[in-house]
Amino acid sequence: MAVITILFALVATPALAADVGFEEVKIANGTEPPLTAGIWYPSDTTATPHSLGNFTQTVAPDAPVAGDRLPLVVMSHGGGGWYGGHYDTALALAHAGFVVAAVSHAGDTFDDQSGVLQLWRRPAQLHRLVDYMLDEWRWHGRLDATRVGAFGFSNGGFTVLVAAGGIPDLSEIAPYCEAHPEHDLCATLKHAGVDLHFSSNVPASAWVHDPRIKAAVIAAPAFGFTFGRAGLSSVSAPIQLWRAADDRHQPHPYYEQAVRANLPREPEYHVVANAGHYDFLPPCDAQLSRKVPEICNSLPGFDRAAFHEQFNADVVQFFQATLR
């Protein structure tokens, strides 16, 4: 893994938490069905192993929160994912003294693809999550509303860029796919029979921003080529940007490099050697690897578990430095 630019030095960090509390909540979302979210947080209650989807995490369910004036990190998963998709990173942050809330993006989860291309829905849902955490969560009085960060992977990276001030131009998708019909995005849209001009008329006002977000970690951002310099000109928060060197799902340089080149402020930039797109997801057990090998299997010689130890440590350090 190569680190190109590091913007922040070590600073005082939140107290480490011996254990982590966890809860799943339903969040009212206007006239739409409630959103589902998972919340990880520091706790003094002894944690024990519990199932989370296909994974097992060591947490204290519904335990009291420990600490005060705690920083908050909200998470946005990739396309077809769910709130538990980055549970190991959430645990690492909670152990470091952060409260972490991840939303399942209605319409773009593993069991609901009804709004997968209505990309403007995602930043609005992330904004609603921040509202809930700061105003309605039962422990909201323990949070520091001036220290809010965001983490996003793939479609979630796109979501976080919009939340941080980005305005994409989805009319760029059609010419991109005309030039690169073999790329995964374009082949998928063609297979689904989607009109490539499906979103040419999305107004800038459709994209919901959240100025409460003061720092962001973005891994393999989807649709990076749709922003351009003008579309990212209002993104002022510090960014930690990640690329998998062997990402065949979102090939270089059209995604993360397009974002990096057009951000007004140079991000802290990491390239992960020999990694594929889905290596940003937690390591799978043998059963899950057999079930979804396209997501679980890494290239020969790549140790996803070892990578995640370093990845999570780098994410924690970045938020410690920027949400101070």
Query: Has residue 4 got a pLDDT over 50?
Result: no
What pLDDT is attached to residue 198? 67
293 domain residue, yes or no: yes
pLDDT tens string 31-69: 999 999 999 999 999 999 999 999 999 999 999 999 999
Q: Report residue 133's pLDDT band, with 50, 70 and 90 as the boundaries.
A: very high
Burial 224-235 (b: 16+ CB within 10 A, else e): bbbbbeebbeeb
What pLDDT is attached to residue 6? 31
Q: How much is the average pLDDT of 153-166? A: 98
Domain residue limits at 238: 2-168+207-322
pLDDT tens string 188-218: 888 878 888 766 678 888 999 999 999 999 9
53 domain residue, yes or no: yes
Q: Report residue 18's pLDDT band, with 50, 70 and 90 as the boundaries.
A: confident
184 domain residue, yes or no: no
121 domain residue, yes or no: yes
Of 32, 26, 61, 40, the residue nearest 136 (C-alpha): 26
Q: What percent of the chain has pLDDT over 90?
A: 85
Query: Has residue 5 got a pLDDT over 80?
Result: no
Q: Please count the structural domains in the chain.
A: 1
> What is the residue-averaged pLDDT of the chain?
92
7 domain residue, yes or no: yes
65 domain residue, yes or no: yes
* CATH number of the domain bearing residue 138: 3.40.50.1820
